[in-house]
Structure 1
Amino acid sequence: MPYQKFQSADSKPRYSKGQISVFGINSIYPRTPWIAAWWSAAFPGFGHMYIGKYLHGFLLIIWELVVNNQAHINMAIALSFLGRFEEAKAQINQSWGLLYVAVFVYSIWDSYRCAVEINKSHSLAEIEDAPITPSAVSFFDVMILEKKHPWVGLVWSALSPGLGQLYGGSTVVGTFLLAWWIYVCYKSEAIRAWLHSFLGDFSSVPGIVDWQWFLFLPSMYAFAIYQAYTAVNESNTLYDIEQIRFLRARAEQLSHLPTAQNDAVVQVIATFEHSPFVEIVIHDIEKLGVPPQNIVALPMENLESQTHIIDSIHRVDGKSILDGAMMGATIFGVLGAIYGFVLYWGPIIWGLLGLVGGFFLGFIIELLLHKKKMKFVSSRKSEVLVEVTCPAAMQEALIKLLKSRRANGFVIVPQRFT
């Protein structure tokens, strides 16, 4: 969150905090560099998508699909884990395999480097208090920066990768992931294998599935869930940052105006979450006849909170600990699919079991590493304080208005007489 005093609108910031367009929402959000590097190692392109460099990510994902398939990397990996080393060596197309190595290493290195640079840019944008345009209207779409539930994005991507991204406002990313998921499922015969697995026909599944294409799915599935969750968090944070700047700008513009005086006045203080209702209630109070300079609306600085497991719409401050859980889900999802080719339940069932088991194993490791008391879901935080000085005759109408606009609570300041 911005920690510097609002900068004058006369000076144009050099560093952007985020951008909203018909193509989606993106932001200069501080990401952990080693997590970006790990996702690039799991699948080239994922690390760049994690840090918001979507064009780089798309290019590297397409490269991975083409070169990995030509070199038969996935088949060689699966056979190696099954102990069939000679067969693995025979599968590799050396000409394509040699092309694979350099770009794979580059993907890991560059995602780490870019995450570091983005973090620097974020710090400079915070200092400058760069503005953000909260909406974009075009012939094709209406994009509005709004607060959403991170777990809803997670669930939609769990049902079908890409849907969580569309929910979060990333139109191009969601379309790409959804199309890619459909294509890879088709090439790997995953849907037919899924049907046979859940009908109990386990013996026929290894013969149905195309191993080379199927091993793309666990990494893609886990990343799509994780990226949808983090993207909604970042969009919510961007909304908070934009509204904080608006409120500070408003306070600065009204600070030079004298407060209207009245013999019989009341002061009402209310708290709100960051949402469109904050700006709506300000305009509604002005319509009641309260002068703008008598309405003080400012963001509150919250004290440090406990680490939590799941972010909510009420608090998204990057302190949740699902990174390790999703990494574990990816690793064990891939291993489950590989060993499922030779185990009785087949790659579908074992891949899902590995995904779930890896998630909980990674989650437990995260808990052990933090070694502190945690909350399961992030708690509600005080975000915006609105103070209204108005004639006593308006008190009832004002309180009714605050309730209708979802104020968290309010208090009428008692008058002191000397």
Structure 2
Amino acid sequence: MPHQRFQSSSINPRYPKGKISVFGINSVYPRPPWIAAWWAASFPGFGHMFIGKYFYGFVLVIWELVINSKANINMAIALSFLGRFDEAREILNEDWALMYVGVYVYSIWDSYRCAVEINKSHKLSEIEDAPITPSEVSFFDVIVLDKKHPWLGLVWSVISPGLGQLYGGSTIIGTFILGWWIFVCYKAVAIRSWLYSFLGDFSSAAAIVDWHWYLFLPSIYSFAIYQAYSSVNENNTLFDIEQVRYLRARADHLAQQHPADDVQNTVQIIATFEHSPFVEMAIHDLEKLGVPPHRVVAMPVENLVTDTHIIDSIHQVDGRSILDGAMMSAAIFSILGTIYGFVWYLGPIIWGLIGMVGGFLIGLTIELLFTKGKFRFTSRRKAEVIIKVTCQVSLQHQLLHILKARKASGFVIMPQMSESV
């Protein structure tokens, strides 16, 4: 149990759980270190961005694009996979390549180390149970911590990397990814190549595309999709945590009051809600209706371990998602499909997409095989907040109207029990 509970979000915690600002939303979340290390290996900088160290990520992404280009690393890798080893050695710039190796290894090691440290900070922030400011208003933007749909973030990133991050409230991250995506697509002549591929002119598509720059795209695309999905989930979790702490603080405050109320001619109604802004709106509406605050008891439900489900929301305490392996496999097979697509009939675009979809399904299958216990395709609907209202019988109809308008999952009118002396 937490050692203390703050009642004011103005208190600065020693171990903050999350931060909301004009630059976006960031949180201390228990992300698996080995997944951070893998994304760093896929593209230096992505491992740090995955764990929320965005400035480190920006520096390393810029470094990767510059030094990789100078050393011709991508071309050397592609030629090596195609068995053209002499050409790979000839095209590789050894001076720049030696500079590349040290920072590449550091990126993997440091992303793993930082993930471990952030996990420790997460545990300390849970012990401190410090508050989170749920909104930020500035001259440039209005940032509100609210519930969003993770799959919408994923879909927007499929349309264009960066859009999913903007949807999730990460302004700087979305702008950075979108900007680099446009730049790399321009250097790779990717848009024209995609057009030729979808028109069936595969030879022209392979002829005009810049191999070196195009090989950056599968990693950027896969990471943008996964990061948008996971960041929206993490922001949703941060919203739940903030609301849980608010409701606990409210309950503690009301528990200190002991009013002597007349309980005659009253009715008790219990309603269930999912975590959302509607919970606090409902409480405000009930108090505005005339129900005393101490007669509106709102408490969060403690979550128990649930079955694994494919379309998960990364709500596990260890930060694991069943889509982790699927997206990593998608990135690997997308790169391989792109490389071999330069010499196969359908070209690098089509084979890259085939590799991404096929890799996703392979990774998902492996995850499911190694997942212990039963799993479901989707998660069960959960009631996460219980509100108990004691009010005059005359207010019952209006109270039920408020609960329906504020999206209560369900309600029950408690039967009147005779008091025993």
Q: Above 0.5 in TM-score? A: yes
Report the Cα distance in structure 2 between the residues aligned to 1:330 and 1:287, rounded to whole angstroms: 53
Instruction: Tell me the residue number matched to 1:138.
Output: 138
Instruction: Tell me the residue number matched to 1:388.
Output: 389
Report the Cα distance in structure 2 between the residues aligned to 1:303 and 1:196, rounded to whole angstroms: 52
Report the CA distance shift for 1:223/1:377 in structure 2 as closer, same or farther (over 3 A): same
Instruction: Tell me the residue number matched to 1:78.
Output: 78
Give the paired residue count. Answer: 414
Contact 1:150 1:311 (C-alpha < 8 Å) held by counterparts: no
2:269 paired with 1:238 = no
Contact 1:33 1:113 (C-alpha < 8 Å) held by counterparts: yes
2:215 paired with 1:215 = yes
The worse-fitting range, judged by mean Cα deviation, of 332-341 and 10-19 is: 10-19
Instruction: Tell me the residue number matched to 2:170.
Output: 170
Q: TM-score, normalised by structure 1?
A: 0.97
Report the Cα distance in structure 2 between the residues aligned to 1:264 and 1:328, rounded to whole angstroms: 63
Which amino acid letter does the alignment assign opposite residue 356 of structure 1? V
SS at match of 2:389: strand
TM-superposed deviation, 1:377:
1.3
TM-superposed deviation, 1:147:
0.2
TM-superposed deviation, 1:305:
0.6
Report the CA distance shift for 1:12/1:213 in structure 2 as closer, same or farther (over 3 A): closer
Instruction: Tell me the residue number matched to 1:191.
Output: 191
Report the Cα distance in structure 1 between the residues aligned to 2:182 and 2:12, rounded to whole angstroms: 44
TM-superposed deviation, 1:9:
4.2
TM-superposed deviation, 1:396:
1.2
Report the Cα distance in structure 2 between the residues aligned to 1:224 and 1:87, rounded to whole angstroms: 32
Contact 1:6 1:249 (C-alpha < 8 Å) held by counterparts: no
Instruction: Tell me the residue number matched to 1:60.
Output: 60
2:15 paired with 1:15 = yes
TM-superposed deviation, 1:204:
2.0
Q: How does 1:33-52 map to 2 (within 5 A)?
A: 33-52=33-52
Contact 1:307 1:320 (C-alpha < 8 Å) held by counterparts: no
TM-superposed deviation, 1:205:
2.0
Which amino acid letter does the alignment assign opposite residue 412 of structure 1? I
Identity %: 67
Report the Cα distance in structure 1 between the residues aligned to 2:384 and 2:398, rounded to whole angstroms: 24
Contact 2:3 2:128 (C-alpha < 8 Å) held by counterparts: no
Report the Cα distance in structure 2 between the residues aligned to 1:280 and 1:18, rounded to whole angstroms: 23
Contact 2:6 2:131 (C-alpha < 8 Å) held by counterparts: no
Q: Deviations over 1:167-214 (max 9, x none)?
A: 000000000111111110000011111111111111122221111100
Q: Deviations over 1:12-37 (max 9, x none)?
A: 53100000001000000000000000
Which amino acid letter does the alignment assign opposite residue 75 of structure 2? M
TM-superposed deviation, 1:308:
1.2
2:414 paired with 1:413 = yes
TM-superposed deviation, 1:319:
5.2
Contact 1:295 1:386 (C-alpha < 8 Å) held by counterparts: yes
TM-superposed deviation, 1:115:
0.3
Which amino acid letter does the alignment assign opposite residue 390 of structure 2? T
Instruction: Tell me the residue number matched to 1:322.
Output: 323
Q: TM-score, normalised by structure 2?
A: 0.96
RMSD value, Cα: 1.3
Report the Cα distance in structure 1 between the residues aligned to 2:200 and 2:139, rounded to whole angstroms: 50
Report the CA distance shift for 1:371/1:7 in structure 2 as closer, same or farther (over 3 A): closer
Instruction: Tell me the residue number matched to 2:345.
Output: 344
Contact 2:266 2:393 (C-alpha < 8 Å) held by counterparts: yes
Contact 1:233 1:311 (C-alpha < 8 Å) held by counterparts: no
Report the Cα distance in structure 2 between the residues aligned to 1:74 and 1:8, rounded to whole angstroms: 52
Which amino acid letter does the alignment assign opposite residue 130 of structure 2? A
Which amino acid letter does the alignment assign opposite residue 248 of structure 1? R
Which amino acid letter does the alignment assign opposite residue 257 of structure 1? Q
SS at match of 1:297: strand
SS at match of 2:377: strand
Report the CA distance shift for 1:277/1:5 in structure 2 as closer, same or farther (over 3 A): farther
Runs (5+) with no aligned partner, structure 1:
none
Q: Deviations over 1:289-342 (max 9, x none)?
A: 111111101111122110111135xx8444530000001100000000000111
Instruction: Tell me the residue number matched to 2:304.
Output: 303
Which amino acid letter does the alignment assign opposite residue 239 of structure 1? F
Contact 1:308 1:376 (C-alpha < 8 Å) held by counterparts: yes
Q: Deviations over 1:79-137 (max 9, x none)?
A: 00000000000111111000000000000000000000000000000000011110000
Report the Cα distance in structure 1 between the residues aligned to 2:180 and 2:293, rounded to whole angstroms: 51
The worse-fitting range, judged by mean Cα deviation, of 288-297 and 37-46 is: 288-297
SS at match of 1:285: helix
2:186 paired with 1:200 = no
Q: Deviations over 1:243-269 (max 9, x none)?
A: 001001101111121242231111111
